[in-house]
Each structure stands twice: as structure tokens, then as C-alpha cells.
Amino acid sequence: MSEKVAIVTGANKGIGLAIVKGLCKRFRGAVYLTSRDEERGLKAVQTLQELGLTPTFHKLDVSDEYSVKEFSDFIKNKHGGFDVLINNAAILEWEQVYPSYEAAKRNIDVNYGSLLLIEQYLYPFLRDGARVVNVSSACGHLSNLKNKKWLDVFTRQDFTTEDINRFVDEYLISVRNGTFNRDDFADGGKHAEHRVSKIAVTALTMVQQRKYPNVSINAVHPGHVKTDMAFGKGDIEPDDAAKTILYLIFDASPNLKGTFMWYNRKLVDWFDIEGDYYYQHSE
């Protein structure tokens, strides 16, 4: 029987590192801690080794096609497939409440575009019964969106990856052309780039689940975590936030598929556009 394999992206610190730590304690197989920065990744592995845990480091820049392909070739050649994937890598340039086009594109390329690359190169090696968790956020709930045209698309429930891509592209074009409308999003459109990327992540989760029925794919909002991304302003420690993700990997029913789970393990209705699940920015 092939060795089981788990992969965590963006795992050299914060919630990613906490997820790897939790996996190493319970997962019977190889656990890959991946990071764009090799030095920080190796340091993170050393930190866990000092706790008696045995993760393996592999460099992975999720927004670079060559890096993703190289990693997928490695997994294919060494293991033949894998069983667990946590797509955690993400960025947020917190100081730009209404970002420039360049900042908005960076956010979307890392947070959403990377998932398309990972699907293209890594999903062919997902084994039957595998579990995938896409780390989204409160920004990823559909109540963040107020534009009727796109609400009509996403409440149809049979939207496609192409629909998501058009949504993302239309937002970026509006930022580049200076036609961005703050009223298209909740909370005055603050950090709309992050709302767009995370709405896209959650929506893609549902599309992917339809495409890969033999795998459990779910999105999760891990809470407002105390990480560098939140400048330490969060109210949940990374180890606590990781528990919900680890629950989806180890304890949730394999029939739980294509859902959006809140940090308290509540399954929220992503299509509840009148709900108050949207992210509210505070200075």
C-alpha cells in the first residue's frame, strides 16, 4: 500500500505551521510543509523537529507555474499520488484599504490564481477519498458582494470556473480603469481585492467538488487569526484556528462535500446574500 501524503501550502508560519503541527501529531504518512521561502521553511521544519515531529520541507511558490509543476512532478515520481491538501497560502496588503491595480492583482494571483495552478498540476494525483481544504475567510462569503449582475451569476448554483474568472477580471479592469464602484461590495468596498479573491476561492471550492466527486473538497473561514497578515489584531490563536481545518481532515464525514465551514464548525449557507457573514473592516 502506498504511503499516505499530506501537503500544506504557505506553511512556514501562522496557521499553516499550526496545521502542519496538528497533521504531524495524527496523520500516518508523510507531511509536506511547503513555503515560497526556503530558509523560512527549513527553519519552520526545525522548530517542529524540536517538538519531536517529523514534517518534510519542499519549496513551493504557489503563484509560479514552474514551481507548482516541479512540485507536482516530485509528488508523482516519489509517491504516485497524495491524500490531503490544505490550500493555505495567501496574502493581504493590509495598509491599502483601496488598493492599486498592482496590489489588487498580486492578491488575486496568490489567493485565487494559485488554486487554478494547483488544480491543473496537482489534482490529477489526488487519490480517491482524498480531502482538500481551501482556506477562505469571512471575505469569502457571498454576502460580501452587492453587485446584482454577479449575485445573479453566483446564486445560480451551477456557475463555472469561467464565470469566476470573468468576475475576477471585471474587478481588476475596474481598478485599472478607475471605474471601481465601492457600492458593489459590503462595508464600503474596503479591501475589495481580498473579498474578490476569497469569494473566488469559496466559489471555486464548489465548482471543484462537482468536478472531483471522489474527493471531499471544502472551504473554511478559520476566524480572525493572530497572524502577520492581520498584524496581530486577530482574536484566535493559530493552533486554535487550525483545529477546524484538522477536523475537516480527520473527523468530518467523508460525505461532507462542497461546503463552507465557519471557525466554530458551523456550516454556513454561502448563498445567504442577506446574511451578516461579510467581513467588516476596523482600523
Would you say the pTM of this structure is higher than 0.75? yes
Nearest of 87, 57, 88 to residue 74 by alpha carbon: 57
Q: pLDDT, tens digit, for every residue of 56-92?
A: 999 999 999 999 999 999 999 999 999 999 999 999 9
pLDDT at 1: 56
pLDDT at 73: 98
- CA 131 to CA 138: how far, in whole Å? 22
- CA 127 to CA 136: how far, in whole Å? 23
Do residues 9 and 135 touch, judged by C-beta distance below 8 A?
A: no
Nearest of 143, 154, 151, 118 to residue 133 by alpha carbon: 118
Q: pLDDT, tens digit, for every residue of 17-54?
A: 999 999 999 999 999 999 999 999 999 999 999 999 99
Phi then psi for 127, rounded to 5 degrees?
Answer: -80, 155
The structural domains of the chain, ordered by start, are 5-268 (3.40.50.720)
Residue 2 has pLDDT above 70, yes or no: yes
Beta strands 216-220; 82-87: pairing state = unpaired
Average the pLDDT over 105-115 and give the result.
98
Confidence of residue 232 (pLDDT cuts 50, 70, 90): very low
Q: pLDDT, tens digit, for every residue of 258-268?
A: 999 999 999 99
Nearest of 173, 151, 175, 174 to residue 163 by alpha carbon: 151
pLDDT at 75: 98
Do residues 184 and 116 touch, judged by C-beta distance below 8 A?
A: no
Phi then psi for 85, rounded to 5 degrees?
Answer: -140, 125
Residue 231 has pLDDT above 50, yes or no: no
Average the pLDDT over 163-183 and give the result.
98
- CA 182 to CA 275: how far, in whole Å? 19
Confidence of residue 283 (pLDDT cuts 50, 70, 90): low
Average the pLDDT over 157-181 and give the result.
97
C-alpha cell at 67: 514551481
DSSP of the chain:
-PPPEEEESS-SSHHHHHHHHHHHHH-SSEEEEEES-HHHHHHHHHHHHTTT---EEEE--TT-HHHHHHHHHHHHHHHS-EEEEEE------TT-SS--HHHHHHHHIIIIIHHHHHHHHTGGGEEEEEEEEEE--GGGSGGGB--HHHHHHHTSS---HHHHHHHHHHHHHHHHHT---GGGBSGGGTTHHHHHHHHHHHHHHHHHHHH-TTSEEEEE---SB-SGGGTT--SB-HHHHHHHHHHHHHTS-TT--S-EE-TTS-EE-TT-TTSS-S-----
Do residues 155 and 142 touch, judged by C-beta distance below 8 A?
A: yes
